Structure 1
Amino acid sequence: MIYFAYGSNMCTARLARRVPSVRPLGAATLAGHRLAWHLIGADDSGKCNIVATEAPDAIVHGVAFELDAERLEALHAAEGPAYDFLELPIEHAGDTLTAAVYRGRAEWLDDTRVPFDWYRDFVLDGARAHGLPAAWIERLNAVATQVDADSQRARANREILNETPANVTAG
């Protein structure tokens, strides 16, 4: 199964903690959507979401991964009830592919939410590691963040950025 990540799951080490095996395929795009940081996370901070829009130039940059469709329980549990799991067309390496995508449910959206700095860093790490466009990376880097008052949670999440997971296969 092809999975399109646009938020913290673009960070391969973070995604690898959530699924039994992962194979990064590389940069991909989702047309007809915009990126927002307004999904209410379990920690009450803002998380990434894609929002459908009629804007003709709307596009979300992300990463295509190949995952084992039969073993997604941990990923579904990590994403939680705030997201619907659906299939949408993405562009990858000049081809249109059908990809599984998480999109936030309306009742879990709040435009006043702000992401923690460590969460934004997952998104940035994934964008950089998979070669997303420099202008997109600048846009991600410009997102306002907040410091997580739970320093233990922040430290534990930051440690993931330095991991080299064993369950990642070459793309």
Structure 2
Amino acid sequence: MYYFAYGSNMCTARLARRVPSVAPVGPAWLSGHRLHWHLVGNDGSGKCNVVETGDPGDRVYGVLFELDPARLDRLHAAEGPAYDFLELTTGHATGQATAAIYRGRADWLDDALTPFDWYRDFVVTGAAEHGLPPHWIDGLAKVPTVPDPNAERAAENRVILDEIPANVTSAIR
């Protein structure tokens, strides 16, 4: 199955910790949506979410991955109850693909939230790693952040940014 990542899961090392096998397909986009950082994370900070606008000019860039649909337990657990798991049509270099996506539930949204710096770094790293458009990466890098008050959690997450996962494979085409 295809999975469209638009937040921290764009960082291959982060996603690779959550699924047994990761196969990047490449850059993709979701039309008629905007990216927000307002989903209430388990740690109380803002996490990425896509909001449907219906305007075809609105676009969220992300990464298309191939994942084994029978082995998503840890990914579902990591994303938690704040998200619905659904399928939407995404665009990519060779056309369109139906992809699974996590979209935030309305009762888990708070526009007053700010992401932790390490979380934003996952998003920016993943976008750069997969060659998303420079204007998109620049916009992600400018998102205001706050330091995580839990230094241990911040350090544990920053370690992932330097990992080279062993469970990354080539996408099946």
- Secondary structure of the structure 1 residue equivalent to 2:37: strand
Q: Distance in 2 between matches of 1:85 and 1:104?
A: 9
Q: Which runs of 5+ in 2 are unaligned?
A: none
Question: 2:23 corresponds to which residue?
Answer: 23
Aligned length: 171
Question: 1:124 corresponds to which residue?
Answer: 124
- Secondary structure of the structure 2 residue equivalent to 1:24: strand
Question: 2:95 corresponds to which residue?
Answer: 95
Q: Distance in 1 between matches of 2:157 and 2:57?
A: 34
| TM-aligned CA deviation for residue 170 of structure 1 | 2.7
Question: Considering only aligned residues, what root-mean-square deviation do their CA atoms show, in Å?
Answer: 0.7
| TM-aligned CA deviation for residue 134 of structure 1 | 0.5
- 2:45 maps to a residue whose letter is S
Question: 1:70 corresponds to which residue?
Answer: 70
Please, what TM-score do these two structures have when normalized by structure 1? 0.99
Tell me whether 110-119 or 161-170 shows the greater mean CA deviation.
161-170
Q: Distance in 2 between matches of 1:165 and 1:4?
A: 19
Question: 1:33 corresponds to which residue?
Answer: 33
Q: Distance in 2 between matches of 1:127 and 1:142?
A: 13
- 1:97 maps to a residue whose letter is A
**Does residue 1:51 correspond to 2:88, yes or no?**
no
**Does residue 1:161 correspond to 2:161, yes or no?**
yes
Q: Which runs of 5+ in 1 are unaligned?
A: none
| TM-aligned CA deviation for residue 56 of structure 1 | 3.3
Please, what TM-score do these two structures have when normalized by structure 2? 0.97
- 1:13 maps to a residue whose letter is A
| TM-aligned CA deviation for residue 55 of structure 1 | 2.5
